[in-house]
C-alpha cells in the first residue's frame, strides 16, 4: 500500500508544528512529574521542636508569679494558644481557640485541645 502524495504532504506540513509543540510542553510535563515524585517539605518547624516549645511555654504559664503583670500573663497565654493552634494544624485536630474570646470557655477549649494533643502523642503537661 503506497502512501499517497496528499498524506505525505500532510505529514510534512504538520510535523514541524507537532515537534515545536512537544519541545514547548515536554519540559513542563517533566518538571511536574519530578515535583510530584519529590517528598513534600514540611511548612512549619519540626514536630519535636513544636512539642518542646509547647511544653516550655506551658511551664512558663503555670509558673507565673502571683504578682506578674496582666500584659505578661496575656502575652504568655497568647503564645501558648498560638503553639496549640500550630500543633493542632500539624496533627489535624479541630479547635476553636481562634474564635473564642478570652475567658472560661477559652480555658476549657485549651484543656480539651491539650487532651486531644496528648491522645495524638504530644506530651503537654
Q: What angle do CA 56, 121, 85 make, to 5 degrees?
A: 60
Rounded to whole angstroms, how far apart are CA atoms 80 and 89?
14
Give the pLDDT confidence score for residue 53 in this predicted structure. 92
Position 86 pLDDT exceeds 60:
yes
Position 57 pLDDT exceeds 90:
yes
Closest C-alpha among 100, 93, 48 to residue 77: 100
Position 20 pLDDT exceeds 80:
yes
Listed by start position, the domains of the chain span 1-41, 47-119
Give the pLDDT confidence score for residue 71 in this predicted structure. 93
- Which set of grid coordinates corresponds to residue 75? 502575652
What does pLDDT average to over the chain?
85
How far, CA to CA in Å, does 30 sit from each of 2, 35, 39, 41, 108?
Answer: 37, 9, 16, 20, 51
CA of residue 46 relative to chain centroid, distance: 11
**Average of pLDDT values for 65-85?**
91
Position 15 pLDDT exceeds 90:
no
Strand extents, DSSP E, 2-42: none
Give the dihedral sign, CA 43/49/51/57.
negative
77 in Cβ contact with 61 (< 8 Å): yes
Give the pLDDT confidence score for residue 18 in this predicted structure. 86
Rounded to whole angstroms, how far apart are CA atoms 12 and 24?
20
Amino acid at each position: 500500500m503506497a502512501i499517497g502524495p496528499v498524506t505525505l504532504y500532510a505529514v510534512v506540513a504538520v510535523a514541524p508544528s507537532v515537534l515545536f509543540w512537544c519541545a514547548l510542553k515536554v519540559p513542563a510535563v517533566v518538571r511536574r512529574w519530578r515535583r510530584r515524585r519529590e517528598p513534600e517539605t514540611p511548612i512549619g518547624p519540626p514536630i519535636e521542636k513544636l512539642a518542646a516549645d509547647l511544653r516550655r511555654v506551658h511551664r512558663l504559664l503555670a509558673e507565673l508569679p502571683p504578682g506578674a503583670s496582666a500584659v505578661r500573663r496575656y502575652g504568655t497565654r497568647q503564645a501558648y494558644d498560638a503553639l496549640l493552634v500550630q500543633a493542632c494544624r500539624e496533627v489535624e485536630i479541630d479547635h476553636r481557640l481562634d474564635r473564642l474570646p478570652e475567658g472560661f470557655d477559652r480555658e476549657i477549649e485549651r484543656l480539651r485541645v491539650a487532651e486531644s494533643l496528648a491522645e495524638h502523642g504530644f506530651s503537654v503537661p
